[in-house]
């Protein structure tokens, strides 16, 4: 967060006559420029908004907290939050922090926080101060690892108390989805066939926890890596099976050496796309 504030301070110090800097631009899925105001208006109409981020990108994290704050105002408090970065077996620890029963040190000692938790802390703290539910949606990583090493069938032998941390079994799976096919091609070995299945377990579990925490009239803003919601696949494929009538909006963050032009491979990845200058320093 300090890096983001420093960046904004530097931008403000640039003389008016100097060449303008454009660290990012917002477009629609076809690459046509749109305003943040339009993105906010459309997000406020949605039941669920997926923010597909680049985990180490400061612009993504800055827009995330601004969108959280502005949606809360626009929806008059009818906002729900959730994130891939928190796993279901850490939900109680997260709730204890939100309810101010423990401090940051207590959260760190009772939950498995991502190394760059500082990038998500502003959203978590906003939820804490405004009494906004923040859902731990992701499956514990040990179960995704089990699927990677042995397929979905490895989950069948788990005791009932462990199955509570994931979407109900069996996990539906469509290997023809383009994002899963791409992931499969990343690892052409026999074990590589399980790589997208491990991803699917995460997607299914996140969709399951989003679906059961949705509320009529509320917008559920979910933070996840871009691959989990790109091209309206991943989590969305599973959520649509549970909530076919839900109004869903997607945001993706892409990095490019020209923020004025959407890379061809990023076309139609989402309803709104944030193009970030690839020279933007990372947060970790």
Model pLDDT, residue 18: 45
For the stretch 211-228, pLDDT in tens is: 999 999 999 999 999 999
Q: How far apart are CA 9 and CA 86, in angstroms?
A: 31
Sign for the pseudo-dihedral over CA of 174, 56, 207, 150: positive
**Residue 93 scores a pLDDT above 90:** yes
For residue 91, what are its two tokens? 């939900």
Q: Tens digits of per-residue pLDDT, 185-209?
A: 887 776 788 999 999 999 999 999 9
Whether 167 maps to a domain, the answer reads: yes
Tokens of 228: 């989990």
**Any domain includes 15:** no
Gap between the Cα atoms of 125 and 219, Å rounded: 18
Question: What is the reported pLDDT for 15?
Answer: 46
Residue 43 in tokens: 């997000």
Quick check: 223 and 46 in contact, CB under 8 A? no
- Residue 12 included in any domain: no
| Residue range 80-88: mean pLDDT, rounded | 98
**Cβ–Cβ < 8 Å for 152, 175:** no
Q: Check which CATH number belongs to the domain holding 176 and give it.
A: 3.40.50.11550
CB 191 within 8 A of CB 148: yes
Please state, rounded to an integer, the average pLDDT across all residues of the chain.
93
272-277 vs 24-28, strand pairing mode: antiparallel
61 neighbors 2 (Cβ within 8 angstroms)? no
The pTM of the full predicted model, rounded to 2 decimals, is 0.92
Task: For the chain, state the CA radius of gyration.
Answer: 19
Assigned domain for 263 exists? no
Burial (CB count <10 Å: 0-12, 13-18, 19+), residue 44: middle
Q: What was the pLDDT predicted at 10? A: 44
User: 73-84: b or e for each residue (b if 16 or more CB lie within 10 Å)?
Assistant: ebbeeebbbbbb
Cβ atoms within 10 Å, residue 262: 23
pLDDT band at 13, cuts 50/70/90? very low
Domain that holds residue 80: 2-6+34-257+273-277
Segment 47-54 mean pLDDT: 98
Q: Tell whether 78 is covered by a domain.
A: yes
Residue 284 lies in a domain: no
Residue that the structure tokens 């000692």 belong to: 109
pLDDT beyond 60 at 14: no
Contact partners, residue 195, CB within 8 Å, separation at least 6: 148, 183, 184, 186, 187
Answer whether residue 144 shows pLDDT above 70.
yes
Instruction: Give a yes or no: residue 13 inside a domain.
Output: no
The whole-angstrom separation of Cα 138 and Cα 161 is: 17
Of residues 184 and 98, more confidence is placed in: 98
pLDDT digit string, tens, across residues 237-274: 999 999 999 999 999 999 999 999 999 999 999 999 99
Residue 227 domain flag? yes
Q: In total, how many domains does the chain have? A: 1
C-alpha torsion sign, points 116, 119, 123, 126: positive
- How confident is the model at residue 7, as a pLDDT? 54
């Amino acid at each position: 967060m300090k890096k983001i504030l420093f960046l904004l301070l530097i931008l403000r110090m640039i003389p008016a006559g100097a060449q303008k800097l454009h660290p990012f631009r917002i477009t629609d899925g076809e690459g046509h420029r749109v305003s943040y105001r339009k993105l906010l208006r459309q997000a406020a109409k949605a039941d669920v908004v997926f923010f597909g981020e680049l985990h180490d990108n400061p612009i993504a994290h800055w827009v995330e907290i601004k969108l959280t704050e502005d949606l809360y105002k626009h929806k008059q408090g009818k906002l729900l939050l959730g994130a891939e970065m928190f796993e279901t077996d850490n939900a109680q620890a997260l709730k204890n922090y939100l309810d101010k029963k423990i401090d940051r040190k207590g959260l760190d000692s009772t939950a498995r926080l991502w190394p760059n938790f500082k990038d998500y802390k502003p959203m978590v703290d906003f939820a804490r101060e405004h009494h906004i539910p923040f859902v731990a949606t992701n499956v514990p990583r040990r179960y995704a690892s089990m699927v990677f090493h042995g397929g979905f069938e490895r989950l069948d032998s788990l005791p009932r108390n462990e199955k509570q941390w994931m979407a109900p079994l069996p996990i539906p799976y469509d290997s023809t989805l383009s994002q899963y096919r791409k992931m499969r091609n990343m690892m052409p070995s026999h074990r590589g066939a399980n790589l997208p299945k491990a991803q699917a377990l995460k997607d299914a579990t996140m969709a399951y926890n989003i679906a059961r925490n949705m509320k009529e009239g509320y917008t559920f803003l979910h933070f996840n890596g871009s691959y989990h919601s790109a091209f309206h696949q991943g989590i969305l494929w599973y959520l649509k099976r549970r909530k076919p009538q839900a109004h869903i909006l997607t945001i993706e963050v892409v990095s490019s050496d020209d923020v004025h032009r959407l890379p061809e491979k990023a076309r139609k990845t989402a309803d709104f796309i944030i193009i970030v200058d690839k020279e933007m320093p990372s947060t970790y």
